[in-house]
């Protein structure tokens, strides 16, 4: 059966866009998360795929019938759990153009536009965030859009391992890790670093958990120095330190500059994971989130969390543009061409784990074009203001207390009556259906997290949340 003609696509496209617009328009009237039993959606599918085609005009209604009562609505303005996932309609327009192009941008020559738009956009954003010029493609480094911060961490670790044990013939990839390589994190570091260490073959002993400074949830530079020296004296190789800015649990940040100075004593790679918080540097008053990054080797922040860009779009920069190809480039004959051999172009296949890559930069370009930096700053500042007001209300309330000081748009709280009451509070709030929060632990005690950031969240939704939080059980 032939593909749709352009005219058929045009007609169906209007129906599909209407379905998306209708869903967004009515999302606030739906619960944030449906109460559904495992297997519900799968049971609605026949065992075998359909043999004959069906009209696509009815497909949006079919999707709604099968999945519409079994979802967690991440774009709901009452979604305050985890961290946001900003699939703005603006970014969806760019994603439509990306999908239509169908480009496979593994090499510059397979899509010069895909490559060079990404270079231009990541350079613009590096400057807008206040990163040093040597993190730009113009300045000797550069940015690439990964699928997630998890992939960015694995790419950074791969480059760090290669730099720690270079081999002009085959690199560490073929020789394998020795079992003596060490990666340094804290108990607050995202689990993606532990997974990256596992994927890289470092095993459980390769991950060294450094204590936090007393009374904080931030890496203790003195403890890091002691750990790295002890490992080096024992014949181990300090390879990478992950400094987090805005941890998932509580928004805590590690002292990046001090970590950079300590890591330099062993030539270890410093990767800064600012997946959630990093975009706040677009606001001059929150430029603290990139303090110390000038000395780091890599920096990551997610456009798909809090920057109005639909998943997946994780922004990853390095100071040395040669570091990633040195570790990741494998070039069989079928990937060789004159442009790559000239050294005048970037082949982004060498900046990531997979070979293939999508034209992700188009949706980010659409957001920058449609919102401008001023619109993005307003988006960020609005949520930060809501978090500040919520924190002030909690301080004045007899039955609630802050578990730690708020960070940007994240507020962590407890019930004053104790841990059992805190757990019950989270369950009661989520059972209401109009909002969704998530929990964590601090020092073994349960905590309720409120992470403002959904595209449509405004003061009205703060009032709604407050009413639910303070309602009599």
pLDDT digits (tens, 9 = 90+) for 310-334: 999 999 999 999 999 999 999 999 9
CA angle 420, 425, 430 (to 5 degrees): 135
Give CA–CA dist 35/55, Å, rounded. Answer: 31
Q: How far apart are CA 51 and CA 113, in angstroms?
A: 39
- 260 in Cβ contact with 270 (< 8 Å): yes
Residue 64 to residue 47: CA distance in whole angstroms: 20
Is 426 a residue whose pLDDT tops 70? yes
For residue 166, what pLDDT is reported?
A: 57
Q: How far apart are CA 84 and CA 393, in angstroms?
A: 22
Residue 340 pLDDT greater than 70, yes or no: yes
Note the pLDDT tens digit of each residue in 23-65.
999 999 999 999 999 999 999 999 999 999 999 999 999 999 9
Helix (H) or strand (E) holding 292: none
Burial of 167 per CB tally in 10 Å (0-12, 13-18, 19+): exposed
The edge-to-edge listing of strands for the beta sheet with 237-244 is: 142-146, 314-318, 298-302, 269-273, 237-244, 181-185, 207-209
Tokens 């980010």 label which residue? 364
pLDDT at 171: 44
Parallel, antiparallel, or unpaired: how do β-strands 181-185 and 207-209 relate?
parallel
- Asked if residue 394 lies in contact with residue 428, where contact means CB atoms within 8 angstroms, the answer is no
pLDDT higher than 90, residue 338: yes
Average pLDDT of span 9-20: 97
**pTM, entire model:** 0.95
Alpha-carbon torsion, ordered 118, 120, 126, 130, to 10 deg? -160
Name every residue whose Cβ is closer than 8 Å to that of residue 113 and which is 6 or more positions away in sequence.
Answer: 101, 103, 359
Nearest Cα to Cα of residue 433 among 96, 149, 152, 33: 33
Q: DSSP letter at 36?
A: -
Q: Could you read off the pLDDT of 89-127 as tens digits, one per residue?
A: 999 999 999 999 999 999 999 999 999 999 999 999 999
Contact 379, 371 (CB under 8 A): yes
CA distances to 54, 106, 228, 239, 258 from 267, rounded to whole Å, are 60, 31, 11, 8, 14
Burial of 16 (0-12, 13-18, 19+ CB in 10 A): middle
**CA neighbor of 317 nearest in space, from 84, 118, 455:** 118
Q: What is the DSSP string of 221-265?
A: HHHHHHHHHHHHHTT-EEEEEEEEBS-TTT--B--HHHHHHHHHT
N- to C-terminal Cα distance for the chain?
59
The tens digit of pLDDT for each residue in 121-152 reads 999 999 999 999 999 999 999 999 999 999 99
Q: Among 73-77, 107-111, 203-207, 360-364, where is mean pLDDT lowest? A: 203-207
User: By three-state DSSP, how is residue 112 classified?
Assistant: helix
C-alpha distances in Å from residue 108, one per residue of 34, 181, 279, 349:
44, 34, 28, 9
Rounded to whole angstroms, how far apart are CA atoms 416 and 395?
Answer: 11
For 278, phi then psi, to 5°, come to -60, -35
For residues 294-301, average pLDDT: 98
Eight-class DSSP state of 47: S
Is 50 exceeded by the pLDDT of residue 173?
Answer: no
Q: Would you call 404 helix, strand, or coil by DSSP?
A: coil
Predicted confidence at residue 402, as pLDDT, reads 98
Q: What is the pLDDT of residue 167?
A: 53
**Is the per-residue pLDDT at 375 higher than 70?**
yes
Q: What percent of the chain has pLDDT over 90?
A: 95
Is the predicted pLDDT of residue 241 greater than 70, yes or no?
A: yes
Mean pLDDT of the chain: 95
**Model confidence at 176, in pLDDT bands (50, 70, 90)?**
low
- pLDDT of 204 reads 79
Contact 122, 144 (CB under 8 A): yes
- In the predicted model, is pLDDT for residue 78 greater than 80? yes
Strand pairing report for 410-415 and 445-451: antiparallel
DSSP assignment of 343-374 equals T-S--GGGGSSSS----THHHHHHHHHHHHHH
202-224 in b/e form (b: 16+ CB < 10 A) is beeebbbebebeeeebbbbbebb
Whether the Cβ atoms of residue 364 and residue 91 lie closer than 8 Å to each other: yes
Tell me how far apart the alpha carbons of residues 141 and 123 are, in angstroms, rounded to a whole number: 10
For each of the domains in the chain, give its residue range(s) and CATH number, in order of start: 103-358 (3.40.640.10), 366-469 (3.90.1150.10)
Note the pLDDT of residue 1.
77
Residue 79 DSSP class: B
């Amino acid at each position: 059966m032939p593909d749709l003609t352009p005219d058929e696509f045009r007609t169906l496209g209007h129906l599909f866009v209407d379905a998306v617009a209708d869903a967004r328009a009515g999302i606030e009237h739906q619960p944030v998360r449906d109460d559904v039993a495992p297997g519900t959606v799968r049971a609605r599918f026949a065992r075998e795929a359909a043999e004959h085609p069906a009209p696509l005009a009815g497909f949006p209604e079919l999707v709604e019938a099968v999945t519409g009562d079994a979802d967690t609505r991440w774009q709901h303005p009452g979604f305050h759990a985890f961290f946001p996932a900003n699939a703005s309609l603006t970014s969806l327009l760019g994603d439509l153009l990306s999908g239509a192009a169908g480009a496979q941008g593994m090499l510059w020559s397979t899509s010069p536009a895909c490559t060079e738009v990404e270079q231009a956009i990541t350079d613009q954003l590096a400057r807008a965030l206040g990163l040093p010029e040597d993190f730009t493609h113009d300045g000797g480094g550069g940015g690439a859009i990964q699928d997630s911060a998890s992939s960015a961490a694995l790419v950074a670790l791969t480059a760090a391992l290669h730099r720690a044990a270079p081999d002009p013939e085959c690199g560490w990839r073929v020789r394998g890790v020795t079992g003596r390589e060490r990666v340094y994190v804290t108990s607050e570091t995202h689990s993606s670093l532990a997974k990256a260490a596992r994927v890289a073959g470092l095993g459980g002993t390769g991950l060294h958990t450094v204590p936090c400074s007393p009374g904080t949830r931030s890496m203790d530079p003195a403890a890091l120095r002691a750990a790295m020296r002890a490992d080096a004296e024992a014949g181990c190789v300090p390879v990478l330190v992950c400094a987090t800015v805005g941890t998932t649990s509580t928004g805590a940040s590690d002292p990046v500059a001090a970590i950079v100075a300590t890591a330099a004593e062993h030539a270890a790679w410093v990767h800064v994971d600012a997946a959630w918080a990093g975009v706040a540097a677009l606001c001059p008053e929150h430029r603290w989130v990139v303090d110390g990054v000038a000395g780091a080797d890599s920096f990551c922040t997610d456009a798909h969390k809090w920057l109005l860009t639909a998943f997946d779009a994780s922004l990853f920069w390095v100071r040395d543009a040669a570091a990633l190809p040195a570790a990741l480039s494998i070039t069989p004959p079928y990937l060789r061409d004159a442009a790559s051999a000239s050294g005048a172009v970037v082949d982004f296949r060498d900046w990531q784990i997979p070979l293939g890559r999508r034209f992700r930069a188009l949706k980010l370009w659409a957001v920058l074009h449609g919102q401008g930096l001023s619109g993005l700053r307003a988006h960020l500042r609005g949520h930060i203001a809501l978090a500040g007001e919520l924190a002030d209300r909690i301080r004045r309330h007899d039955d609630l207390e802050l578990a730690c000081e708020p960070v940007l748009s994240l507020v962590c709280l407890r019930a004053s009556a104790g841990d059992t009451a805190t757990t019950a509070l989270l369950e009661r709030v989520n059972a209401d259906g109009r909002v969704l929060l998530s929990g964590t632990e601090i020092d073994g005690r349960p905590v309720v997290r409120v992470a403002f950031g959904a595209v449509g969240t405004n003061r009205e939704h703060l009032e709604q949340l407050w009413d639910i939080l303070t309602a009599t059980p």
